[in-house]
Structure 1
Amino acid sequence: MLLNYQIKQAFDIDADNKNEIIFLIHGLFGSLSNLSTLATELQAYAHIVLIDVRNHGKSPQSESMTYPEMVADIFALADHLEVQTFSIIGHSMGGKIAMGCALTHPERVKRLVVADIAPVNYADKHSEVFNGLLLLDVKKIKNRMQANEQLSRYIDSPEIRQFLLKSLHKKEQHFHFVFHLTALANNYQHIRNWPYEKSVFNAPTLFIKGGNSDYILPEHQKTIMQQFPNAQPKIIANTGHWLHAEKAKTFNRLVMQFFQERADIDAH
């Protein structure tokens, strides 16, 4: 499967073509635009590849959606672009995909940034979201305001509703979600799980946690360090799971510092 992608060239292209190449992977219900502000900042010295994962955005749809399949999609794209080694930044589900790439083919992943997710199996965190989305009658909706009103019966958070409604598009006379909702619902068990428990990635890794989020907990630290022994943790205070949007400046600064520091070490 060839995923939909967008390339942003580095602003200052190295004469010897030594610029970093970084893949950016969004989370569940998202699209490649979710990390676009970070992409723009990273263009200061790196080539960026923004990606729609399967069943999201403009990428192909599939009834199957396991992490081994989604990891294979990333490497198929890298091969298509003739990119042998690259770094990866992933948020939430995208963070799990990114970790899976690093653990499956560590020789191809230079650096890794994981935003607010741990390498663990999760309990159900999205049942109300799926209920609201599946019960939404998109054929009868005339505007996003009506959709927001209906979703509010199931999803209390205005921020989460706003995020979901970014993927509600109008085509001809009717609205539709650009993500493949039924496939996401049917594969949610796979999305919550973690199939790479015994692998190790030794290269530089950054885990960024939202201070108010419960996706990375103290009891996850041991597992993180077992699988990513060269990991460093950062916490962004007063922000939740959508840390890259809620505190974009802080999030982007931490990511930039990580890559610049590692580039300085490599240079010496």
Structure 2
Amino acid sequence: MLATIHHPATMPDDALPLVIAHGLYGSARNWGVIARRLADRRDVVAVDMRNHGISPRSDVQGYPEMAADLAEVIESLGGRADLLGHSMGGKASMVLALTRPDLIRRLVVADIAPVAYSHDQTRHVLAMRRVDLATVTTRAEADAALAPSVDDPALRAFFLQSLDFREKPPVWRLNLDVLEAEMPKIVGWPDTTGRFEGPALFLTGADSGYVRPEYRDTIRALFPKARFAKIPGAGHWLHAEKPREFEETVRVFLEA
């Protein structure tokens, strides 16, 4: 089963647990602050997706397989949960909602749509591979080594959360070979049938281009109760750029 970080409810009531699925190159650790704040009334469980963090490695990174991983986690929590997924995790969450709607009460999809995208994230794999791990001993050194390939300091900081300095030399907690090989599946969308009749929130960054207006008909066909919301001043990494606004929007939707 996927590795998880469990945040127990501080003042538990009858609320279902919330499962959080991160995006490509992420980990459960990326969601620590938001997960802890949302764990006031409910348990929150953040997962490491396959080939990320300390979860099992696999030669496959397809959405049916990732959805099955999430189903196993939800079944271990009692068989029903709210589900939040960002980017790659959002697509896996949508596939699970369409194929196993019985497992999900409410769905939050963060800045992704059920469509195939033309962009390719392989350049980031290549950037991480260019870092000579035998010569870096600190995060600052790794950041400097990554800088020629990744201009954005925030994006470098995000990637470096997956570099484990407890190992000597440090190691990436990412299966870069498989992520590169399976990139067409990751940026694509499987031929998934079904409909999710439960409440679904498509939450996007106002400055992001991932969920375009022309995608709304496709979204509504699969998720007829879809609602749409934007966070001003945020891009694709909306949960990191505007964490409080993101948290409050998710909370209002889950508790409606």
Using structure 2 for the length normalisation, give the TM-score: 0.95
Whole-angstrom CA distance in 2 between matches of 1:135 and 1:190: 24
Q: Report how far residue 54 of structure 1 moved.
A: 0.6
Residue 167 of structure 1: aligned partner: 162
Over the matched positions of the two proteins, sequence identity in percent amounts to 36
Aligned equivalents of 2:210 and 2:18: distance in 1?
A: 24
Query: Equivalent of 1:178, from 173, 179, 188?
Result: 173
Q: Which residue of 1 aligns with 2:35?
A: 39
Q: Deviations over 1:201-257 (max 9, x none)?
A: 110000111111111111211111111110111101111111101100100010000
- State which drifts further: 36-45 or 116-125: 36-45
The corresponding residue for 1:69 is 65
2:142 aligned partner, one-letter code: A
**Separation (CA, whole Å) in 2 of partners of 1:74 and 1:219:** 29
List runs of 5+ in structure 1 lacking aligned partners: 262-268
Q: Which residue identity lines up with residue 51 of structure 1 in the other structure?
A: V
Instruction: From 222, 237, 240, give the equivalent of 2:217.
Output: 222
Q: 1:100 aligns with which of 91, 95, 100?
A: 95
Match of 1:145 in 2: 140
How far apart, in 2, do the equivalents of 1:196 and 1:12 lie? 41
Q: Does 1:189 align with 2:184?
A: yes
Q: For residues 158 and 82 of structure 1, do their structure 2 counterparts lie closer, same or farther at Cα, with a shift above 3 Å needed?
A: closer
TM-score by length of 1: 0.91
Structure 1 stretches of 4+ moved >6 Å: none
Instruction: Check whether the contact 2:12–2:40 (CA below 8 A) recurs between aligned residues.
Output: no
Aligned residues: 256
Q: Which residue in the other structure is 1:198 paired with? A: 193
Q: Does the 8 A contact of 1:103 with 1:196 survive in 2? A: no
Deviations 1:105-128 (A, max 9, x none): 012211000110111101124232
Output the CA distance in 2 between the equivalents of 1:140 and 1:212. 37
Query: Following TM superposition, by how much is the alpha carbon of 1:145 offset from its aligned partner in structure 2, in angstroms?
Result: 2.2
CA distance in 2, matches of 1:27, 1:172: 24
**1:7 maps to amino acid:** H
Aligned match of 1:23: 19
Matches of 2:93 and 2:183, distance apart in 1: 18
Equivalent-residue separation in structure 1 for 2:238 and 2:77 (angstroms): 32
- Higher mean displacement: 22-31 or 130-139: 130-139
**1:116-163 CA deviation, whole Å, 9 max, x = no partner?**
011110112423212211222212223222322222222121111110
Structure 2: stretches of 5+ with no match in the other structure: none
- The answer to whether 1:5 aligns with 2:1 is no
